[in-house]
Structure 1
Amino acid sequence: MTGNKAVAYKGPGKVELIDIDYPTFELKDGPGVNPANVGRSVRHGVILKTVATNICGSDQHMVRGRTTAPTDLVLGHEITGEVVEVGPDVEFIKVGDICSVPFNIACGRCRNCKERKTGICLNVNPDRPGSAYGYVDMGGWVGGQANYVLVPYADWNLLKFPDKDQALEKMMDLTMLSDIFPTGFHGAVTAGVGVGSTVYVAGAGPVGLAAATSAQLLGAAVVIVGDMNADRLAQARSFGCETIDLSKGGPAEQIEQLLGVPEVDCGVDAVGFEAKGHGAGAHEAPATVLNSLMEVTAAGGALGIPGLYVTGDPGGVDEAAKKGSLSLSLGTGWAKSLSFTTGQCPVMKYNRQLMMAILHDKVHIAKNVNAKAIALEDAPKGYAEFDAGAATKFVLNPNGYLS
């Protein structure tokens, strides 16, 4: 039997490399697996040998102990891999194909999938619409920070790269297609970014940098990125963004210094529920980003909200926050006729187009997010450095495909 090592959550602040079973075409019981999914046949799936799998800020929320994730949950929803086995019901995907895996697991058969709402598939998670690999309350599909991973509904879910050699050459860019590039793009699209737009992106982590890159790709005139981390702000400036330092106060005055007016056409929240207030020494205040975006987005504008918000946060600052209830100034949004789009990005809506932009050198997302390949056994160090604020997107290299 082929060995399989994986990165697992071992409690707040701790991840470890563990041995797990090699995947089969049946969903087995394990940490976080929904009991109704145990024994589920996956004849429509494939087994991938992982080419690249990334550490995501959403993983970091779990590792910090800010969700109800169980111990030994195998992490990883940003997956690119080479097909090594195909289930008996797979028709089009073949052994040897190198493919990007959307982090959303979708059946391709339900009403939502047919309407391109693959982030809220109705058939893959018995508890609620929507599912993902290696994530709390998402049905229990095993994560991809491992040597091998099972992908269900393979003909539907997988994005096959057209040329294997070209894909391996551009893998550090292509690995971003599983999540952060489409997610950032979705944030920009739903914020209404177009040619000549002025855009404010809250958060200079990888998703924020991907959103800023996407705004540029969509033709924005000015992209402003706000954060408190000097290294991450420098990374945003490295590809042409304006930046504001939120440790010096809120965004409105600093935006006015850049644009002459204290508002932008489009706003993107790439922070989520662990947001802090503004100013030096600011403490966690989870509604800060959403309220400040409503303040600085022009009347009639829109907010794209790819930042993660949860319904269960053991570390919430108060009882309301622990249930995902935030003190939003909804009256501001109503008075200004602002539109809001939240939830998982439907990756399949964008990933092929973004793949083509990468393959034809229209965008260099790996450079913009400062991607760095590390060995699978170095994942605990990568998690620690990312949690400490490193301006780096860590890409795990479980099987030696990456140089």
Structure 2
Amino acid sequence: MQGNRGVVYTGNGSVEVQDIKYPDLVLRDGPGVPKSNVGRKCEHGVILKVITTNICGSDQHMVRGRTTAPEGLVLGHEITGEVIEVGRDVEFVKKGDIASVPFNIACGRCVMCREQKTHICTNVNPERPGAAYGYVDMGGWVGGQSEYVMVPYADFQLLVFPDKEQAMEKILDLTMLSDIFPTGYHGAYTAGVRTGSTVYIAGAGPVGLAAAHSAQLLGASRVIVGDMKDDRLKQAESFGCDTVNLTKHDRLGEQIEQLLGVPEVDCSVDAVGFEASGHGEGAEEKPAQVLNTIMDVTQAGGGLGIPGLYVTEDPGASDKDAQTGSLKVRFGLGWAKAHSFATGQTPAMKYNRDLMRAVLSGQAQIAKAVNATVISLDEAPGGYKDFDSGVAKKFVIDPHGMLK
């Protein structure tokens, strides 16, 4: 039988590359798999040879111990690969196809999927709406930071690239279609970015950078990015964003006024999530900081896109309320300013085809925006450590050495 290796969460803030089971078209028992999902037959699925699979900030939350993720979980929900085996019930996807895998697992049959709400499919996770690969409480589907992975509901889910040679030439951009490009775009789009908008992006990690680039694609006149790492801010500046270092400035409105002449923007995006920090030098963790800040600096009637991750259980939180996802949010301020809030996972399939076209036409330069950096599978543990330190890179794992 063919072998397989993958990145496995081993607890205590660490991951290892280990031998794992070669996938077949059944969801087997394993770490995080609900009993009612064990043995689920997936003849509607395919086996992929993974070409690229990316390290995500959401993975880091688990590795840091900030979720209830079980040890032994194979990580990875950002997957691009070549189809090498096709299930009996797959009709349109063919062996040899190269495709992007949306990080949301979705059946295509339920009411939510029919309404393009593939992030809350009701048929793929018996414990709650929505599922993802290699992620806590998301149905137990095996992650794709590996050499091979099984993808269910292939006809519905896979975004097959029209030309294989062109796809490999653009692979560092196309690999972002599985998650961070649609997620960043979703944040900007749901915030209401349009031609001429002024936008504040909280966080210059990969999703924040993707949101900033997406805001530009949507026609924003000014994009301001706030972060606490100089290297990340320089990366945002590299493609035309204004920046604010929040360790040096704890009054964001004043900085925005210096840039725009007014202390507010039209709309904002939270690309940080629940591990937010207070502002100013030496600030400590303050999970509601970003939410309260973007309400403060967004004009009345403005939109708040919130693709940053928030959780129902955070065992590493500093107070009991935050451990159950209860944050001290100034909701009255948002209500008084008639803000709109868009939260939850991104329905990647709503955007990925159009964003693929933007990549293939050269309009979108997402790999450059997020500083895509290729590493081998064996280098993944080091990539996790570097990413956790806040480097301005998006790590792309190349399990088979297929990239030029």
Question: Per the shorter chain, which TM-score range?
Answer: over 0.9
> Partners in 1 of 2:225 and 2:377 — Cα distance?
31
Q: Which residue of 2 aligns with 1:231?
A: 231
Aligned: 1:158 with 2:158:
yes
| AA partner of residue 312 (structure 2) | T
Residue in 2 aligned with 1:80? Answer: 80
Range moving further from structure 2, 74-83 or 29-38: 29-38
Displacement of 1:35 in angstroms is: 1.0
Query: Partner letter of residue 141 of structure 2?
Result: W
Q: Distance in 1 between matches of 2:90 and 2:400?
A: 24
Distance 1:2 1:304 in 2: 44
Q: Distance in 1 between matches of 2:179 and 2:26?
A: 25
**Counterpart AA for 1:125:** N
- Equivalent residue for 2:392? 391
Per the TM alignment, residue 250 of structure 1 is displaced from its structure 2 partner at its CA by: 3.0
Q: Deviations over 1:105-150 (max 9, x none)?
A: 0000000000000000000000000000000000000000000000
- 1:275 is matched with which residue? 276
Match of 2:169 in 1: 169
| Matched residue type, 1:311 | T
Separation of aligned partners in 1, 2:47 and 2:267: 41
| Counterparts of 1:256 and 1:317, CA distance in 2 | 33
Residue 321 of structure 1 and its aligned partner are, at CA, apart by: 0.3
Describe the superposition over 1:240-278 as per-residue Cα deviations: whole angstroms up to 9, x where unpaired: 000001012131111111001110001000000000000
Matches within 5 A, 1:1-12: 1-12=1-12
Residue 13 of structure 1 and its aligned partner are, at CA, apart by 1.4
* Equivalence for 1:265: 266
2:253 aligned partner, one-letter code: A
Corresponding residue of 2:372: 371
* In 1: Cα distance, 2:273 partner to 2:402 partner: 33
Amino acid at match of 1:35: K
Q: Does 1:34 align with 2:66?
A: no
Could you say what the CA RMSD is over the residues aligned between the two structures, in angstroms? 0.5
**Which residue type is aligned with residue 109 of structure 2?**
R
Q: Does residue 330 of structure 1 match 2:334?
A: no
Partner of 1:124: 124
Match of 2:348 in 1: 347
State the shift of 1:400 in Å. Answer: 1.4
Matched, 1:381 2:382: yes
Q: What is the alpha-carbon distance in structure 2 between the residues aligned to residue 144 and residue 77 of structure 1?
A: 6
- Map Cα deviations across residues 143-202 of structure 1 (whole Å, 9 max, x no partner): 000000000000000000000000000000000000000000000000000000000000
- Take 1:212 and 1:8, find their aligned partners in 2: how far apart are those partners? 31
Distance 2:387 2:401 in 1: 22
Runs of 4+ in 1 over 4 A off after TM superposition: none
Tell me the SS of whatever aligns to 2:378.
helix
How much does 1:313 deviate? 0.5
Please tell me whether residue 109 in structure 1 is matched to residue 92 in structure 2.
no
Distance 2:402 2:35 in 1: 35
- Which residue pairs with 2:360 in the alignment? 359
Following the alignment from structure 2 to structure 1, what is the Cα–Cα distance between the partners of residues 34 and 12? Answer: 22
1:293-336 per-residue CA deviation (whole Å, 9 max, x = no partner) reads 00000000010000000001110110000000000100000000
Q: Deviations over 1:61-120 (max 9, x none)?
A: 000010000001000000000000000000000000000000000000000000000000
Deviation at residue 286 of structure 1 after TM alignment: 0.2
Unaligned stretches of 5+ residues in structure 1: none
CA distance in 2, matches of 1:373, 1:250: 37
Q: What secondary structure is seen at the aligned counterpart in 2 of 1:303?
A: strand
Counterpart amino acid of residue 95 in structure 2 = V
TM (norm. structure 2) is: 0.99
Aligned residue in 2 for 1:318: 319
Distance 2:9 2:373 in 1: 22
Instruction: Tell me the TM-score normalised to structure 1 length.
Output: 1.00
* Residue aligning to 2:59: 59
**Structure 2 Cα separation of the partners of residues 250 and 137 of structure 1:** 37
Percent identity among equivalent residues?
A: 70
CA distance in 2, matches of 1:371, 1:51: 15
In structure 1, what residue type is equivalent to 2:32? G
Q: Distance in 1 between matches of 2:93 and 2:302?
A: 42
User: Pairwise mapping of residues 233-312 of structure 1 onto structure 2 (< 5 A)?
Assistant: 233-248=233-248, 249-312=250-313
Which residue type is aligned with residue 336 of structure 2?
A: A
| More divergent stretch after superposition (246-255 vs 262-271) | 246-255
CA distance in 1, matches of 2:401, 2:35: 35
Matched with 1:141 is: 141
Cα displacement (A) at 1:12: 2.5
1:339-374: CA deviations, max 9, x gaps? Answer: 000000000000000000000000110011000010
- SS of the residue aligned with 1:337? coil
Q: What secondary structure does 1:83 align onto?
A: strand
